[in-house]
Amino acid sequence: MRETAVITGAAGGIGAAVARRLAAEGVRCVLVDRKPELAEVAAEIGGEAVIGDLTDPALSERAASIAGDELSLLVLNAGMNSSDKDPATLDLDRYRAVVGVNQHAVVWGLRAALPVLRTRGGGSIVVTASLAALRATPQDPIYAMTKHAVIGLVRALSGSLAEENIQLNAVCPGLVDTPLTAGNRERFRAAGIAVLDADSVAAAIVRTLRSGESGTELVVRPDLPDELYRPAPLP
């Protein structure tokens, strides 16, 4: 049976790079994003495009249905940042959108894919988190909140899913040169801040998909080896 992957946030950046890597391995790829450029990436790799709003659980169900019973790999990568630093002046529409994409869409993806993975006897899931999931990030507290939630979900579910032969892991990159950070590219360069390229993070995601481990939190940073993050034990 041919492997099939569902990859969210695949119109560019990390998601598109993951799709190219998996397609090169012979994996059939179902790509999900709201941006119309998704169709070009899907055509390039011979994949299938599912365009729509990931905050709607029906889109994740549609992607899982297209993948069918060959679905074995899931990359929940879609992300959105926030421009609000002060909850007192929060833009509520933007807030709902950020939480919807970064947090709820991860749950919708799991909800749609897990029944298929259980029926086939296993699979592998990677969630793209962030260094913001592991430390204070005052530059974007709403984004940090959603990524902390994602790590909490991975920690809570990975053990029980491993008993069903389903790996659930997180990759936590530092700053990445993607459309999400494009507006700050020159500021990062001027400040001498090192930024990851999307393909480096995609390589880490694919390795993690294939690792055979569960509950991994892999930190990926510029100019440093990838490193497993282990939470400190409670005192």
Q: Which residues are catalytically annotated?
A: 143
* 117 Cβ neighbours under 8 A, 6+ residues apart: 71, 72, 74, 123, 125, 164, 166
CA-CA-CA-CA torsion sign (63, 64, 67, 72): positive
Going from the C-alpha of 54 to that of each of 34, 57, 95, 214, the distances in angstroms are 7, 7, 15, 25
Going from the C-alpha of 64 to that of each of 36, 158, 171, 187, the distances in angstroms are 20, 20, 22, 39
CA-CA-CA-CA torsion sign (134, 197, 154, 167): negative
**Residue bearing tokens 């962030």:** 130
* 3-state SS class at 110: helix
Amino acid at 223: D
